[in-house]
Amino acid sequence: MNASLNARPEIAEMDEAALPRMSGELVFHDEWERRAFAIAVSLAEQGRFAWPQFQANLIAAVAVAEAGDPLHPSRGYYESWLDALEATLSQAKVLPDPSIVHQAKERL
């Protein structure tokens, strides 16, 4: 994963919606968080969507979570990450069926 981040510094250096870090290292509390991160980075690197588009969606998703959205009362950062990824993939028309992401979220 580090090689990917070095190849795309805009991914590693997200200013407005900084990645959770501890001692400079990315922090994942569960394996699904690591996978969601890897999927987003990989798809961006493949050119499936523009990273700034994902970044804007992530900023919006984090803002909703921080505002105390009653539909998602205890969302963490990576739940917002999944919401942003879903929105981005839908906007970029990468997903033939956006319900795929909803099904994945239900398994969390």
Q: pLDDT band for position 3 (50/70/90)?
A: very low
Show me where the domains of the chain are located: 2-106
pTM over 0.85: no
pLDDT at 32 over 60: yes
User: Dihedral angle at the C-alpha atoms of 35, 40, 45, 49, nearest 10 degrees?
Assistant: 160
Sign of the Cα torsion 36, 40, 41, 42 reads positive
Bridge partners of 21?
26
Alpha-helical segments (H) within 1-108: 2-7, 9-12, 31-45, 51-66, 77-91, 99-106
pLDDT in tens, 37-76: 888 889 999 999 999 999 999 999 888 888 876 666 566 7
